[in-house]
Amino acid sequence: MKQFQYLRAATQQSTLDAISKPGTKIIAGGTNLIDLMKRGVTAPDKLVDITHLPLKNITPTKSGLHIGALALNSTVSENGIVVQKFPLLSMALKAGASPQLRNMATVGGNMMQRTRCSYFYDTTMPCNKREPGTGCGAMGGLNRMHAIFGTRDKCIAVHPSDMCVGLAALDATVIIAGKKGERRIPFTEFHRLPGEHPDVDNTLAKDEMIIGVDIPDNNFAKNSYYLKVRDRQSYAFALVSVAAGLDISNGTIRQARLAMGGVAHKPWRLFEAEKFLVGKAVSEDSFKQAAQIAMQGAKAYEYNAFKLKLAPATITEALKHASGLV
C-alpha cells in the first residue's frame, strides 16, 4: 500500500478545504476504501477522517426523515422510526454485508462504495472503470454477476449496494455540501450509468461531500419487502434484488415503488412497471405483467443470461410478499 497522509477533520469547512486538493479522499468507516487501497486499485495521497463531524443524526422532519451521512448502517436499520415508517430501508440494510461491517459502514460511505466487479479489483486485467481506455475485461470474460440494464461496451459492472436500492425506491433526496453551499439531488440521479466515462460513478464533484439524505413520508410501511437473491445467504452481493413498496386500499394498488439491484451500474428504478400497477387489483397476474414491463431493454451477456428469467421472477415474488399474497 502506498504511504499516505492522515488528517482528522474538525469541521465540515475544513473537510471541504482539504478535498479540494488533488489526491485527497474522505474516509469514514473505510469498509470499501481500505480494501481498494490494499489492492492497489486506488492510492490517495491524503485521507481526511470525517468520523468526528456531527453528521450521525436520524431526525424526523415535517415531511419525512433526515439521516446524516455518518449514521451507521446498523444504527439506521434498527432505528425505531425507520423500522416503523420506512421498513423497506431497514430490510435493505439488513440484507447487506455482515453485522460487523454494518456496524462500521456509514450511509454516505455506502452510497460512495464502488463496484465489486472482479476485473475492477484485479489490477492485472483491463478495466475502463479503474483505468480509462484499457477496455472491459468482463465483456468477453466471466460476466455472471454483471449488468443487464444500461450497459455500454465500455463497462457492464453493477452497483453493489442494497441500501441504495431501498433509498432509490423510497424517493430519497441526497444533500450535498460544497464551497458554494448545499445542493439537493434526487437519489435516482446521484449514481450514473457508465456512458462514455465508466470511471465516474456518481454526480458528486471532487470538492463536494455528502452530508445526508432525506426520505419523504409515504404510505408503503404496511406493504414493503426487500428480496435479495444471492449465491449464499450471508455476506454475498446480489445476483438480483428488488425493493418493493405498495400503497394498497381495498385490494387496489394506489401507488407503487420498485427498484432493482444487481442488474445495472446504478440502483435501477422501475418507473414504467410502477405506472402499470397503479389502479390494478392485487394479484399475481398483475405482478407478472409488471415484471415483464420492467424487463424492457434488458440485455444479457454470455454468463448472465439467467438474469433475464431470474429478474422478473424476483420482481413478482417481491410484490407478492409486499402485498401479503404470500
Q: Is there a contact between 52 and 8 (Cβ–Cβ < 8 Å)?
A: yes
Question: What is the arithmetic mean of pLDDT over 271-297?
Answer: 98
Question: What is the arithmetic mean of pLDDT over 33-45?
Answer: 96
CATH number of residue 291's parent domain: 3.30.390.50
d(CA 115, CA 174): 20
pTM of full prediction above 0.95? yes
What integer pLDDT is reported at residue 235 of this predicted model? 84
Question: What is the arithmetic mean of pLDDT over 101-110?
Answer: 97
The one-letter amino acid at 108: G
Single residue among 34, 51, 68 that ends a domain in this structure: 51
Over residues 225-244, the pLDDT tens digits come to 999 999 998 889 999 999 99
For residue 276, is it within any domain?
Answer: yes
For residue 182, is it within any domain?
Answer: no
For residue 19, is it within any domain?
Answer: yes
For residue 144, is it within any domain?
Answer: no
| Residue 53 cell numbers, joined | 463531524
For residue 244, is it within any domain?
Answer: yes
Over residues 178-198, the pLDDT tens digits come to 999 999 999 999 999 999 999
CATH number of residue 23's parent domain: 3.30.43.10
Which strands form 268-269's sheet, in the order they lie side by side? 224-229, 240-249, 252-261, 268-269
Q: How many CB atoms lie within 10 A of CB 184?
A: 10
**Model confidence band, residue 66 (pLDDT cutoffs 50, 70, 90):** very high
What integer pLDDT is reported at residue 234 of this predicted model? 83
Q: Is there a contact between 317 and 226 (Cβ–Cβ < 8 Å)?
A: no
Mean confidence (pLDDT) of the chain: 97
For residue 26, is it within any domain?
Answer: yes
Structural domain of 17: 5-51
For residue 216, is it within any domain?
Answer: no
Rg (CA), the chain: 19
Q: Is there a contact between 286 and 294 (Cβ–Cβ < 8 Å)?
A: no
d(CA 283, CA 254): 14
Q: Which residues contact 180 (CB under 8 A, 6 or more apart)?
A: none
Instruction: Tell which residue, 65, 55, 60, 57, has the closest CA to residue 88.
Output: 65
For residue 198, is it within any domain?
Answer: no
**Model confidence band, residue 97 (pLDDT cutoffs 50, 70, 90):** confident
What is the tally of structural domains in the chain?
2
What integer pLDDT is reported at residue 1 of this predicted model? 84
